[in-house]
Chains A and B, each alone.
Chain A
Amino acid sequence: MSQSTTLPTAAAGTGEREFMLDVRTQDMEVNMGPQHPATHGVMRILIRADGEICTGAQPHLGYLHRCAEKIGENVEWLQYLPYTDRYDYLAAMNNNLGYSMAVEKLMGIEIPRRALMIRTICAELNRIGSHLVAFGTYGLDLGAITPFLYMFREREWMMALFEKICGARLTYSYIRIGGVFNDAPPGWLSEVERFCDTFEEKWQEYVDLLMVNHIFVQRTANIGVIPKAMALDFGLTGPMLRGSGVDWDLRRDMPYELYAEIWKSGCFQIPLGKGERGTLGDCWDRAYVRVMEMIESIKIVRWCLDSIAPGPVIAEIPKTLRVPAGEAYVGIENPRGELGHYVVSDGGKVAVRCRVRGPSFTNLAVLEELLPGALIADSIAIIGSTDIVVGETDR
């Protein structure tokens, strides 16, 4: 006896693909991860599949849990800085920045202007690096290996720049409470300028090679659609939110450090998903937002390079930090979304509470909603488009 079954489609708005089956088959549980090439780290997604079609998905976390928040309650204020590098290891500068800003807010210290400039340059360069990994590995998930290596070539240069300024390539611990550790070495700023020039050229190549490639478009357009309302319901932030067309960027809407000034100068825009190749909020839009943000970051870096002036790079702070009692929350725009640090102090050398709001963790929740109805190959595209860093989801 044959029975016609209609499986749920991916999400509202896709509509284009609907699978009509004549035979009833048994569902299969597939364990994607913790060791799987497409889960970007040690994450596990339990997929219930009917042939090639996902009918259910459940992300499992915790494989990379390192008690980062608890450590924050046990080490001194400055000593926690190296740990912040390690939750979102692709954007360590931004993590340093977020934590330092939270402590600075509590202490009420004023940061020298040159330090703010260097901080902005570093954070934006790291945003470029992080988006390069995100877009490169997205191509890798979809089977294009070469663009990934091209992007890593530019990222390598970015890491060499950071190596010159702080001595490390991935876990920088460079932006510290009160400013930055070291002033930029001589010639560093002009090398950043050269990097910007080269990057703009190479960026066009990524777009030609991958972004507008017809196969890439076919693989990502109309896949994993997150409508505006759904994006807001899930509390998505960063490119995931802007990919759905919601105009929200902390750099503009809750400006911190120099961003209010930079936004006023009008040198950068907030790219939004427009549904150019498919539906608004599909995987292609999210990738598009990331690719466009790289160029916007370059513009911000150029603005800083133009207006940087010599001066001190760190405020006067005591050697042993004693933070006044109180609590502070600072949210900054990480490459992945809003990275929040909530710190509570009782006036001692050690934090009472050090809470981190990681964007990857929140963005991950949407997977459970998006995967049912997608093909196995599409589920890879959807997971890749969320751009999670498992170090941050688990912390």
Chain B
Amino acid sequence: MTATTKYFRNVYDTLKTTLVGMRITGKYLLQKPITVQYPDERLPIPNRYRGIHYLEQEKCIECLACARACPIDCIEMDAVRHGKELEWITFTLDYQKCMFCELCVYPCPKDCIHMGTEFAFVSYDRSEFVHDLLSYRGMSRDAKTRMLEAEQKKKAKEEAKKAKEAAKAALKAEAEGKEAAGQN
């Protein structure tokens, strides 16, 4: 290519490719934008989205499987056992550490910890990112009634047992009395 043809080739190429580019950008200028106005309209969030966790507390048995599966140990929980029932003290997830890997969800034997679709978590204070997953503290009402029922049952059982024993004892005493009387 001689210098002259190269010169005019450059001019031609520049103008042509510029016009081609302008045609493409101009096409999009006239089209409707694809973005959405975020807080007013939102894109749908799929079901599998890995957002802020939620806990089905009733099901949880405090087995610590999720806490053990967590690579960064951001789950902490504590509860007092009353026989079968749990009195919840704390179940926190530290979102300063959490990296939303969902590894805590799979090992759960009761399928009670899940990741929700909520993703915005804003605070003025870092301490608030230690998120409490509990919906209630202490024992649930169901658990309380269950426990009460169990206690009553137990009491009734014990009373019945006692009564039985008392009856037995009375019977025995009676028998003994009779015996004594017979001896006399």
Contacts and interface: CB of A to CB of B under 8 A. Distances in A.
A5 interface: no
Nearest to A150: B28
B103 A173 contact: yes
B177 interface: no
A173 B102 contact: yes
A83 to B, nearest CB: 7
A79 B46 contact: no
A80 B71 contact: yes
B3 interface: no
B99 A205 contact: no
B25 A209 contact: yes
A173 B101 contact: yes
A195 to B, nearest CB: 14
A300 interface: no
A168 B50 contact: yes
Determine the interface band of chain A, counting residues with CB < 8 A from chain B: 20 to 34
Interface residues of B, number: 30
Interface stretch (B9-17, B52-60, B136-144): B9-17
Interface in B37-79: 43, 45-50, 69-71
A76 B72 CA distance: 11
Interface in A142-194: 146, 150, 153, 160, 163-168, 171, 173, 181-182, 185
Q: Is the interface of B mostly helix, strand, loop or mixed?
A: loop
Contact of B103 (A78, A163, A166, A185): A78
Contacts of A208: 20-21, 24
A167 B49 contact: yes
A215 interface: yes
Contacts of B24: 205, 208-209
A205 B34 CA distance: 17
B106 to A, nearest CB: 8
B48 A214 contact: no
B48 A82 contact: no
Nearest to B45: A163
A75 interface: yes
30 contacts: A78-B69, A79-B69, A79-B70, A79-B71, A79-B103, A82-B71, A82-B99, A83-B71, A85-B101, A163-B48, A165-B48, A166-B48, A166-B50, A167-B46, A167-B49, A167-B102, A171-B99, A173-B101, A181-B102, A185-B47, A208-B20, A209-B20, A209-B24, A210-B21, A213-B18, A213-B21, A214-B13, A214-B16, A214-B17, A215-B14
Closest 5 CB pairs of A and B: A82-B101, A79-B71, A167-B50, A167-B48, A214-B13
Interface of A: 75-76, 78-83, 85, 146, 150, 153, 160, 163-168, 171, 173, 181-182, 185, 205, 208-210, 212-215, 319
Given A150-B28, A208-B24, 13 more contacts: A75-B71, A78-B103, A82-B101, A163-B48, A166-B50, A181-B106, A205-B24, A208-B21, A209-B25, A212-B17, A214-B18, A215-B17, A215-B18
